Amino acid sequence: MPKPPTRFVCTACGAAFAKWSGQCNACGAWNTLVEEAAPRPGSPSSGAGGRAAPLVPLQGESEAPPRLACRIAELDRVLGGGFVPGSAVLVGGDPGIGKSTLLLQAAAALARAGRRVLYLSGEESVSQIRLRAARLGLAEAPVAVACVSALRDLLATLEADPRPDLAIIDSIQTVWLEEAGAAPGTVGQVRAAAAELIRAAKARNFALVLVGHVTKEGALAGPRVLEHLVDAVLYLEGDRGHVFRILRGVKNRFGATDEIGVFEMTARGLAEVANPSALFLAERRGNVSGSAVFAGVEGTRPVLVEVQALVSRRAGEGPARRAVVGWDQGRLSLLLAVLDARCGVSFADRDVFLNVAGGLKLSEPAADLAVAAALVSALVDRPTAADCVFFGEVGLSGEVRMVGQAEARLKEAAKLGFATACLPKRVAGRGRALAVPEGLRLWEVGHVSDLVASLSCAERPAVREGAQRRAVQST
């Protein structure tokens, strides 16, 4: 009997090849090609026997999709208002970060509101799920639980009456289909299982949540086609050394992307944080060199977070160290080069350590000005003003460029009691005037050298007060 044809598929991007190689020619990843059965020929290449789809004009009225709000405000915010019936949501995160805990809390909230919720796990037994529910105080919630991993059994459960309103599959990597001819978690199994589960969700109009594993680099395991199949992709981020957890939406067909929800890990599960800015700044100490407050925006939410920098003399004869937590290391190298070339501030013989307090990961270029302020403050050992926030993008020539949603950043800073905002200098005649909250002063800088000169000036009152305080403490 001849061997069935096979092909090699990249687990990182989903590209298929006839032969195995150490590196994927499509995405450049190493050791990601795995063997799977090739698809059978005979797929239709023309419209013969098909039925033409009805065409409608682009202009028209469409009703907003209904929502299943789980009454966990931070989760509903990231989803855009709640789960949408007939949609599929993919939730990823490191092992033990709290994915199953958060989804069990959401399932219990919806079940208590009268919705029929199924929690189907292929990783944990029913007794383990019950122990977690008892620990979280959710044992009385009417959530239907089962331990099942065979795709045929899952589909039979989902298609049985009565129809569920929400079904959670934990996790998609444990689901297997016998006809796929591969181990659970491989490219073919994950793709086939996800496609069938999503088809069932859309056919019966219930919300589907798939839990996905992540690789050691933090990306969702399996081919990228899995992210294309679903309607929303959420990542649960956080460091196990911190109590904060960030739920970030990187794709959402029914809401805003890059929206975040902030949670705090407690003994009773994940507790939502209504004011993350106050929480991120709760342990901040004013008049400490190397600290600056960044006024950022995550999705539609303004968030204030502390950026910390430490600059020390290079240890040994090797190259200077550059360590970053919560920011892009390449962006730090770029900013250090701009400070050296455009402002004459050299870090060549210094070790530089940068940290975003609270475990939050910053990605927007608007953090450049706050990072520059923290770096220069640490280098000259002079603190920034304790009541000042920073935001702005720094270009390669040293110019400070305006960023979006400036008014939302200023409003959040004023709400938390900050008196000064350091931001890019506005060009006359471009755009409308900013609506500045009452009591907030604007410190506009057009070039990063203006910031460096101000932080290096010994005549600033905040610097004198900080120096006097350090002198008193030392005596």
**pTM, two decimal places:** 0.78
Give the 3-state secondary structure of residue 254.
Answer: coil
Q: What is the pLDDT of residue 74?
A: 93
Residue 352: how many other CB atoms lie within 10 Å: 21
Q: Is 266 a domain residue?
A: yes
Q: Is 400 a domain residue?
A: yes
Q: Is 112 a domain residue?
A: yes
Q: Is 432 a domain residue?
A: no
Choose one of 274, 307, 333: the last residue of a domain.
274
Q: What is the pLDDT of residue 470?
A: 32
Same-domain pairing of 87 and 21: no
Q: Is 322 a domain residue?
A: yes
Same-domain pairing of 301 and 260: no
Q: Is 52 a domain residue?
A: no
User: For the domain that residue 400 is a member of, what is the CATH number?
Assistant: 3.30.230.10
Q: Quote the number of domains for the chain.
A: 3
For the chain, the C-alpha Rg in angstroms (whole number) is 26
Q: What is the mean pLDDT of the chain?
A: 86
Q: Is 374 a domain residue?
A: yes
Same-domain pairing of 419 and 291: yes
Same-domain pairing of 29 and 111: no
Choose one of 257, 274, 291: the last residue of a domain.
274
* CB distance 287 to 465 below 8 Å: yes
> Across 359-445, where does the E strand assignment appear?
388-390, 393-394, 400-401, 420-424, 441-445
Q: What is the pLDDT of residue 472?
A: 32
Percentages of the chain per state (helix, strand, coil), in multiples of 5: 30, 25, 45
Same-domain pairing of 263 and 169: yes
Q: State the DSSP string of 115-150.
A: --EEEEESSS-HHHHHHHHHHHT-TTS--EEEE--B
Q: What is the pLDDT of residue 215?
A: 64
Q: What is the pLDDT of residue 220?
A: 60
Same-domain pairing of 292 and 409: yes
> Most distant CA pair in the chain: distance in Å?
91
Same-domain pairing of 83 and 229: yes
Integer CA distances (angstroms), 281 to 133, 195, 216, 388, 417, in order? 32, 44, 30, 13, 12
Q: What is the pLDDT of residue 458?
A: 42
Q: Is 466 a domain residue?
A: yes
* CB distance 119 to 109 below 8 Å: no
Q: Which amino acid is at 465?
A: E
Q: What is the pLDDT of residue 223?
A: 53
User: Which residues in the chain come in under a pLDDT of 70?
Assistant: 1-4, 39-49, 180-182, 215-225, 427-432, 457-475
Same-domain pairing of 81 and 216: yes
Q: What is the pLDDT of residue 222?
A: 57
Same-domain pairing of 374 and 406: yes
Q: What is the pLDDT of residue 473?
A: 39
Domain holding 94, by residue range, is 73-274
Residue 3: how many other CB atoms lie within 10 Å: 5
Q: What is the pLDDT of residue 441?
A: 93
